[in-house]
Structure 1
Amino acid sequence: MSDRIDVHFHPVPEGFKRAAAAAGLGTTIASGFPRWTPELSLEVMDRHGIATAITSISQPGVHFGDDAAARALARECNEDAAALMQRWPSRFGAFATVPMPDVDGALREIEHALDVLKLDGVCLLASYGERFIGDAAFEPVLQLLDEREAVVFLHPNFHPSSRRIQWALPGFLTEFPIDTTRATTHLVVSGATARFRRIRFILSHAGGALPYLAWRLSVAPLVDKRFAEHTGASILGEIGRFWYDTAQAAGDPVLATLREVTTPDHILFGSDWPYCPETVVQATTDAVAGSRVLDAEAIAGTFRNNALALFPRLAHLSS
């Protein structure tokens, strides 16, 4: 199969890498930022049957304390992404980078990225500083994305609380999926997903622990009066409306859980390259292709068809 659509694929442009390194931030992988070029991306995609990769800048994002510098770096990353799409329109898509937590800058960049650069959606990190994406301070961003009926790729950050605990293991192993879990739980119980129903959220790494915690969250209204405005059914309904990617989350235990909390058409293929090496890309592909809990239609949907519902322009392109 060579028509797969990968919704979790990261560029590592030099400007982003330099800025993150200068701020003392970056990947939690021991080897540091991986090697990346467009040409290397295409080689990997061809080896693994990926027709189109929709790119997104990963954590720590582009804001390192200076709003103006963050706006400039976000624009640079988005223009680079648009250039990839123009050069290889069938091979690359892109989620826009925004200079959060600079809300005004983010609003401007979203409009530029969607209207001028024609990117496919927007990448938001689950948290910015101490605050999660459902925080009231970020409401204008969610409002704009809702008005635009945007596809939003939600990727974890390395939350400050995770940096402070005495935890010897690298952040990507447990803390990244926990960041997504916290953010999505807050989006649901705060009512943000209900208020902004036109946003189509894709959750990285199968939503972290959210699918596993779904039933626990559904009984929260029976436990604590602070959740009285919800019902178990309404909470499960909101969890089922997310899309979930398979990046570092492709085995049958994960897929079986996803099958219980959402419909098969809400599962998307994601590789997490180049932060995950090709061995993991292959393992992810094999796990989905050989799944014992997804039928043939669901497997085909995961690899391509489900993404076409979010990115219909790709249906008219061939690799």
Structure 2
Amino acid sequence: MKYNKIDVHAHYLSPGYKQFLKSQFNDMGDGVKTPSYEIETTLGIMEQAKIDYSILSISSPHINTGEAASTLELANEVNDYAATQQSKFPDKIGFFASLPLPYINESLQVIKQITAAGQAAGYTLPTNSRGTYLGDSILDPVMQALNDTNAIVALHPNAPGVSIPNVNEDIPDPILEFFFDTTRTVVNMLDKRIFSRFPDIKFIIPHAGAVLPLVANRIPLAKGLNPDLSADQLEIKQAMGSQYFDVAGMVLSQQLPALLQLIDPDKLLYASDTPYTPTPVVMNLANALETTDLISDPLKEKLFHSNAEKLFKR
């Protein structure tokens, strides 16, 4: 590995989250086998991939147990576990706190706790929590609290809130549905004016924007079919230009060049997606980014390190 890296999309599994996946999903959350995990898993991958600092978060499925009190309990457990690891390894480990969405009072309580503690790098929010999508007006108090604290918010896809029977049932959700759910969520956030109403939140959109680079030119055309739409509900390119994007997954050779036509290259961030992405694949994907001719060496340095360094003031 040539480049030192800051990783903004890596995952951890706390004891409580492992039990949640076992009890509610038979260790197959969103169709993915629960990986083995201890903090040493992260540290070992970091050493191999030349990652200086990893910002850890809970992956999918979201921590919503279906009931407010137990979801709050699980949110506190996963956040406490991450804070402990950050305290043990302050030069190597950061974390995005999880919120007990869609439970408003409980989420506001956690935001207050996290803000007071001052340890978290920001928050991770699911595209949807059991069918409640980001952009839903019920979540506006949470968005306002995040805006008031100038929060950094990393989005993470979940399985869609409604599944279509007998369609792609053999294809695990991360392959297709995660991309579709990220895309529909960001467009929903645009439609519901999340980006314009809460401009002090810095969002990180995963997986190089999912399908957004391919559909961005189509979004403004909605005005012709629905004249009631306003400009700020359709300016997807403006919204994308002000947000951050990580490169988790296989973004070469098509996706990343398409994304770079639409966004500020100073807002592109490295991501490994470990441990759900196996270490050999992490290494291969990092090597592909390091050696590709599709982006310049100065941009590679920004992607791997300096953009995140500026964002997180490291």
Give the TM-score taking structure 2 as reference length: 0.94
1:149-170 deviation digits (Å, cap 9, x = unpaired): 1000000111232364532211
Q: CA deviation at 1:218?
A: 2.7
How many pairs were matched up?
Answer: 311
Q: SS in structure 2 opposite 1:201? A: strand
Mapped contact 1:127–1:159 kept (Cα < 8 A): yes
Q: CA deviation at 1:2?
A: 5.8
Residue aligning to 1:206 = 208
Mapped contact 2:99–2:124 kept (Cα < 8 A): yes
Correspondence list, 1:1-319, <5 A? 1=2, 3-24=4-25, 26-29=28-31, 32-162=33-163, 164-167=165-168, 168-230=170-232, 234-312=235-313, 314=314
1:187-206 deviation digits (Å, cap 9, x = unpaired): 11221111111100001111
Q: SS in structure 2 opposite 1:12? A: coil
Worse overlay, 47-56 or 58-67: 58-67
Distance 1:10 1:269 in 2: 14
Q: CA deviation at 1:117?
A: 4.8
Distance 1:221 1:87 in 2: 52
Q: SS in structure 2 opposite 1:111? A: helix
Distance 1:81 1:93 in 2: 8
Worse overlay, 92-101 or 275-284: 275-284
Q: SS in structure 2 opposite 1:252? A: coil
Distance 2:120 2:73 in 1: 17
Q: SS in structure 1 opposite 2:184? A: helix
Higher helix share: 1
1:240-294 deviation digits (Å, cap 9, x = unpaired): 2221111114313111011111011111111110111012211221121122221
1:10-69 deviation digits (Å, cap 9, x = unpaired): 001221011122123643455x10011111211111001011110010111211112111
Q: CA deviation at 1:146?
A: 0.7
Q: CA deviation at 1:140?
A: 0.7
Mapped contact 1:221–1:231 kept (Cα < 8 A): no
Mapped contact 1:2–1:46 kept (Cα < 8 A): no
Residue aligning to 1:317 = none
Aligned partner letter, 1:211? P
Q: CA deviation at 1:127?
A: 0.6
Mapped contact 1:221–1:230 kept (Cα < 8 A): no
Mapped contact 2:134–2:185 kept (Cα < 8 A): yes
| RMSD of aligned Cα (Å) | 1.7
Mapped contact 1:122–1:150 kept (Cα < 8 A): yes
Identity %: 29
Worse overlay, 16-25 or 191-200: 16-25
Aligned partner letter, 1:194? S
Distance 2:96 2:233 in 1: 33
Mapped contact 1:8–1:56 kept (Cα < 8 A): yes
Distance 1:164 1:305 in 2: 45
Give the TM-score taking structure 1 as reference length: 0.93
Runs of 5+ unmatched residues, structure 1? 315-319
Aligned partner letter, 1:130? G
Distance 2:4 2:49 in 1: 10
Mapped contact 1:2–1:51 kept (Cα < 8 A): no
Aligned partner letter, 1:133? L
Distance 2:174 2:3 in 1: 29
